[in-house]
Structure 1
Amino acid sequence: MTRHLGSGSLVIATHNAGKLKEISALLEPHGLKCLSAGSLGLPEPAETGTTFVENALIKARAAAEASGIVSLADDSGLSVAALDGRPGVYTADWAERQWFEGKPGRDWYMAMGKVEGMLAEQGPDVSRAAWFSCVLAIAWPDGESAVYEGRIDGSLTWPPRGKLGFGYDPVFIPVGKDQTFAELDPAEKHAMSHRADAFAKLVAEQFGR
């Protein structure tokens, strides 16, 4: 039997303000007060896993151990069929500037450009199929954990469109839509995203009783 969350505080193991806002909105109806690892001054652990599940658990467990509070982490990313599933777990790494690319930090336009450049090398008929994956991991301070996985399929477009999302959202068009994630109203995106899929599974198990 899976352990269940109670009411109270939950640490969201992220330093990303956009991700915190999105996750907090999804959990708000369930009476949880979300705190970010960044606001608590918790260090970011090295994401040494080779899968989304491994990295989500690394982050959730590190936050739970450091804070003594039940913690939730997500690991998510974009996978491109024609690139053998890359960037995948290295989605954020592709946005990290190298020493010759300017000041340290993440440049998502550059990351989107890398993906587009690699597709262009394969010619005009290359498949543009892609999907976003999300794994949510809950970790309790005593070491117990639970994992939930979500996914949404779509295709890539170029150039980027929209200003409402973050990360690779401006180049991703979900199946059944003609707008990118960055063009869709946030409420509509949140209702259908890979994170929403994972959260639906989390909510069904954690709060469906």
Structure 2
Amino acid sequence: MSRRVVLATQNEHKVYELRQILAEVCRDLDLEIVGASDFPDIPDVAETEVTFAGNARLKAEALSAATGLPALADDSGLAVDVLGGCPGVFSARWSGSHAGPGAARADKDRANLSLLLEQLADVPDQHRSAAFVCAAVLVVPGREAITREGRVTGRIGHTPRGTNGFGYDPIFVPDHDPSRTLAEFTDTEKNAISHRGNAFRAMESVLRDALAL
């Protein structure tokens, strides 16, 4: 019998990406992955922590408590070295606070990306190093939260390139392949090296043990 696990995010880009990653990570596990949007009465969780792990834990605990299901959450963002690790936990709202989901998300992404490029306009390539960082948290009702982290290193490009991705993907050039931005990778290529892919691959044994699969 399959075991339902709910993803603690309303971001459909993330749901799509995480379902792909979990399908690969958990390909021999009988999991049914559902999104938070399947539970429309559950309010958004305010991300009030100052770390990726803290915010992911808040989301996973809230959704697990509300649904009675094991919940997986992630919080992730871009850490630029010359900016002291910023945008960090503020990556999604770097250009200011925004209201409104759905179609407005693309506008938010463009505003955040444009502001970051402005801030780095005079920074030479050797000082444009950065990393995408992800904290993944699993909460099973009645148990302590379990956290795993992943990252991918690279640098910030000067102009956006590519259309396959979201957020800062079009300006992030991974060390894995410095000829392309993440937005120029296929889904499979990106998931193989990404911060989320690495974090959720590290969660595989945790899922097996915690869900007794």
TM range (shorter): 0.7 to 0.9
Match of 1:61 in 2: 61
| Partner amino acid, structure 2, of 1:195 | R
Match of 1:15 in 2: 10
Give the Cα separation in 1 of the matches to 2:44 and 2:96.
16
Match of 1:75 in 2: 75
Query: Where in structure 2 are there 5+ consecutive unaligned residues?
Result: none
Give the Cα separation in 2 of the matches to 1:123 and 1:11.
41
Query: Where in structure 1 are there 5+ consecutive unaligned residues?
Result: 1-5
| Partner amino acid, structure 2, of 1:11 | V
Aligned residue pair count: 200
Deviation string, structure 1 residues 131-151 (Cα, Å, up to 9, x no partner): 000000011222421100001
Q: Do the aligned partners of 1:82 and 1:126 also contact (CA within 8 Å) in 2?
A: no
Give the Cα separation in 2 of the matches to 1:23 and 1:98.
24
Change over 3 Å in CA distance of 1:48–1:187 after alignment to 2: same
Change over 3 Å in CA distance of 1:12–1:182 after alignment to 2: same
Q: Do the aligned partners of 1:134 and 1:194 also contact (CA within 8 Å) in 2?
A: yes
Once the two structures are TM-superposed, the CA of residue 26 in structure 1 deviates from its matched residue by 2.0
Match of 1:35 in 2: 34
Match of 2:160 in 1: 160
Once the two structures are TM-superposed, the CA of residue 116 in structure 1 deviates from its matched residue by 1.2
Change over 3 Å in CA distance of 1:111–1:129 after alignment to 2: same
Q: Do the aligned partners of 1:119 and 1:126 also contact (CA within 8 Å) in 2?
A: no
Give the Cα separation in 2 of the matches to 1:135 and 1:187.
20
Once the two structures are TM-superposed, the CA of residue 104 in structure 1 deviates from its matched residue by 6.8
TM-score of the two chains, using structure 2 as the length reference: 0.86
What is the Cα-based RMSD across aligned positions, in Å?
2.2
Q: Do the aligned partners of 1:97 and 1:107 also contact (CA within 8 Å) in 2?
A: no
Q: Do the aligned partners of 1:56 and 1:74 also contact (CA within 8 Å) in 2?
A: yes
Change over 3 Å in CA distance of 1:155–1:93 after alignment to 2: same
Change over 3 Å in CA distance of 1:167–1:125 after alignment to 2: closer
Give the Cα separation in 1 of the matches to 2:11 and 2:85.
24
Q: Secondary structure at the match of 2:94?
A: helix
Q: Do the aligned partners of 2:135 and 2:148 also contact (CA within 8 Å) in 1?
A: yes
